[in-house]
């Protein structure tokens, strides 16, 4: 199905970004549906009432490939921040490029921040939110990790709120593992963190503290954080 969608996606290239997004993310929905139907991996979402109506920067824990796919049906239309090497992957990278992600050169130092701001500002102007995994790479559940400041910095530069997202996808869809584990992935969306007049470091620290706390609760089996939806 990846090959089929990738080839079909090429025909959407002349269309507006939102139209391309609606079509290409059907592949994500198909994968999440398949995970539920074939592997028994379901999910519930708590805190959806915290999702802003306007664009925002979403900071999320990164444990597996699951969240990169499922967020397309959980969160509003958005672009991901990613390393530009991913766009070179045959088939998968073709469809990914048509979604206009914020692709940066991580080795570029401060130039990478300029890329992040310029592309982020343009995507937000087109009505898209931005999703960033501040750990930079996938981490196993429970493993502590530093949060790079780029996401909070972008939110402060653009005057957008930061919305923290916690989940336990790594317990059902482990990183670099072929087999999936039946069960429920819990996704918890936190209240927006306003950035006006605040430093990126303070915003980043608050988001990290919330995400770490909620992930610890999920690991302990407390998945209740307000109304949930499947």
- Report CA torsion sign: 114, 69, 49, 126: positive
Q: Which residue's structure tokens are 């997004």?
A: 21
Which two tokens mark 102? 């914020």
Distance CA 4, CA 60 (A): 29
Residue 22: which pLDDT band, with cuts at 50, 70 and 90? very high
pLDDT(229) > 80: no
Q: How many domains does the chain have?
A: 1
**Where is average pLDDT lowest: 34-48, 74-88, 159-173, 179-193?**
74-88
The range of the structural domain enclosing residue 121 comes to 2-229
**pLDDT score, position 178:** 81
Q: Is the confidence at residue 130, as pLDDT, over 90?
A: yes
Inform me whether the pLDDT recorded for 225 exceeds 50: no
Calculate mean pLDDT across residues 182-209: 97
What average pLDDT does range 24-46 have in this prediction? Answer: 95
Domain of residue 159, CATH code: 3.40.1130
- Helix H segments across the chain? 2-10, 17-39, 66-74, 92-98, 110-125, 150-158, 200-219
Task: Quickly list DSSP for 143-154.
Answer: ------THHHHH
210: number of Cβ within 10 Å: 19
Once rounded to an integer, what is the mean pLDDT over residues 191-198? Answer: 96
pLDDT at 108: 66
Q: What is the dihedral of CA 82, 21, 187, 91, to 10 degrees?
A: -50
Give the per-residue pLDDT at 175: 82
Which one, of 218, 201, 208, lies nearest residue 60 by Cα? 208
CA distances to 4, 112, 125 from 118, rounded to whole Å, are 33, 10, 11
């Amino acid at each position: 199905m990846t090959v089929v969608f990738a080839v079909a996606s090429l025909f959407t290239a002349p269309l507006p970004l939102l139209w391309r997004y609606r079509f290409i993310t059907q592949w994500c929905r198909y994968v999440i549906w398949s995970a539920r139907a074939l592997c028994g991996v379901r999910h519930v979402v708590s805190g959806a009432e915290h999702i802003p109506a306007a664009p925002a920067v979403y900071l999320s824990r990164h444990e597996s490939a699951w969240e990169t796919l499922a967020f397309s049906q959980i969160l509003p239309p958005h672009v991901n921040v990613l390393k530009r090497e991913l766009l070179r992957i045959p088939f998968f990278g073709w469809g990914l490029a048509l979604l206009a992600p914020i692709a940066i050169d991580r080795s570029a130092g401060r130039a990478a921040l300029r890329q992040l701001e310029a592309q982020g500002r343009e995507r937000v102007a087109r009505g898209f939110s931005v999703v960033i995994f501040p750990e930079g790479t996938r981490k196993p559940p429970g493993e502590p990790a530093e949060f790079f400041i780029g996401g909070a910095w972008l939110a402060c530069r653009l005057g957008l709120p930061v919305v923290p997202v916690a989940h336990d996808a790594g317990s059902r869809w482990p990183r670099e593992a072929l087999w999936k584990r039946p069960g429920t992935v819990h996704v918890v969306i936190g209240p927006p963190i306003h950035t006006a007049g605040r430093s990126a470091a303070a915003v980043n620290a608050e988001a990290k503290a919330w995400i770490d706390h909620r992930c610890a609760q999920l690991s302990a089996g407390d998945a209740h954080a307000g109304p949930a939806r499947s």
